[in-house]
Structure 1
Amino acid sequence: MEEKNSQKAYERVFDYFTAEITSGNLRLNDKIPTERVLSETLKVSRNSAREALHVLEMMGLIECIQGSGNYIRCNTKEYMTRLMSLTMVLQHINHTEVFELRCGFEQTALSAAMEDAKPEELARMKEVLEKMDQPMSAQDSAALDVEFHKILMEMSHNQLMIFYVDQMEDLLKLFVKDLRTSILSDRRRAAVLRKAHWDIYEALAARDEAAGAKALKKHFNVVRKHLKKLIET
């Protein structure tokens, strides 16, 4: 099957999947039509169909399972993180801007969590904090710090915010290696953050939004100063 414009052919395949997913005809983990069927249905060459499927697989929207077929997936985080990292470089976006955006999301999450946090989520947060109070390396403490903020985001029950904050964390890791470990290597700074974490938890448990916002701001100020120092050196 000959095509005069391969770009239009590719777009036709992409538009097909966009329409099928948004309409609900294709859902997560559904098996999709074969290259041959797509080619015949959309009047494009099999090569164009194959190329489009390959791009969709790179984006994490489909998965090719050898001997089984292609399936709808939603593993786009890695692709989007790579895309955003290149965008940051090309648009001269600095790491502080990424951090500030992440702060905004967490502030919104905290506000939502004041109403929506479940008892089991608060219990998980308290358990993490109790572990953080034990003697450990900066690396182990950093891992628990990630878990604390992950729980805070989950308390918002906003899947889009959770996705973007997770992605921004990965972006900061790409450009500022071992940021959390570096921050927590200083005992005084680690102590301030530990208290801020407990203050956030206690504010959530008491449904005290003002106290929670104050504690979160204190936490962010410590991280912001350290990040600025890292970038300047």
Structure 2
Amino acid sequence: MFMLKDSNPEEIIEVRRVIEVQTAAIAAQKITDKELEDLEILIKAFKNSKDENDNVQIDKRFHYEIAKASKNFIIVNILNAISSLIDSFIKDARKKIIVDEGNMEVLADQHEDIYIALKNHNPKKASEAMKKHLEFANKYIMMK
């Protein structure tokens, strides 16, 4: 197993951009109605939850469910292999993001944009929406 402890935020940002943006495009082509229903449930839960610990879990599940919807065993396993690193990254990013009050709504809207692109089976829009979402989070991660 490779070592993850020496990873820095820039490397995690690069890996997420490489994996998740393209994964969204692949998922848009392969996602099932059941998987879309599951994502919609997560989006509603995210919008209705006031508990940040729950929101962190919902946020992570949203991203992992998209990976599963890609039906690509290797993508899912790569994400699983680095999951502790990405999970920690998401948690840290969210701490910085939620300092600005309106950002929870921004995150929810971005998740919904990704979902709509997936529902429309539009790979280009799905990858664009995921890229926009990651860039928003990355802006906060790079803040000291």
TM-score exceeds 0.5: yes
| Counterparts of 1:223 and 1:180, CA distance in 2 | 6
TM-score, length-scaled by structure 1: 0.56
Which range moved further: 130-139 or 207-216?
207-216
Paired with 2:141 and 2:62, the residues of 1 have a C-alpha distance of 19
Bigger shift: residues 95-104 or 113-122: 95-104
In the aligned structure 1, how far is the partner of 2:3 from the partner of 2:12?
10
Greater RCO, CA 8 A, separation 6+:
2
1:84 is matched with 3
Distance in 1 between the 2:8 and 2:74 partners? 23
Match of 2:54 in 1: 140
Pair 1:157 & 2:84 matched: no
- In the other structure, the counterpart of 1:185 is 98
- Give the paired residue count: 143
The structure 1 residue matched to 2:129, chosen from 176, 190, 215, is 215
Q: What root-mean-square deviation, in Å, do the aligned CA atoms of Structure 1 and Structure 2 show?
A: 2.0
The answer to whether the 8 A contact 2:93-2:138 is kept is: no
Between the aligned partners of 2:116 and 2:36, the Cα distance in structure 1 is 9
The residue type equivalent to 2:128 in the other structure is: K
Q: Which runs of 5+ in 2 are unaligned?
A: none
Secondary structure of 2:3's aligned partner:
helix
Q: TM-score, normalised by structure 2?
A: 0.87
CA distance in 2, matches of 1:228, 1:149: 20
Match in the other structure for 1:114: 28
Identity of aligned residues (%): 21
Q: Are the counterparts in 2 of residues 95 and 172 from structure 1 also a CA contact under 8 Å?
A: no
Q: How does 1:8-157 map to 2 (within 5 A)?
A: 80=1, 83-86=2-5, 89=6, 93-157=7-71
Which amino acid in 1 is paired with 2:70? S
Q: Assess if the C-alpha contact under 8 Å between 1:189 and 1:222 holds in 2.
A: no
Query: Secondary structure of the residue that 1:112 maps to in structure 2?
Result: helix
Relative to its length, the structure with more helix (as a share) is: 2
Q: Write out per-residue CA displacement over residues 52-79 of structure 1, whole angstroms, 9 at most, x where no aligned residue.
A: xxxxxxxxxxxxxxxxxxxxxxxxxxxx
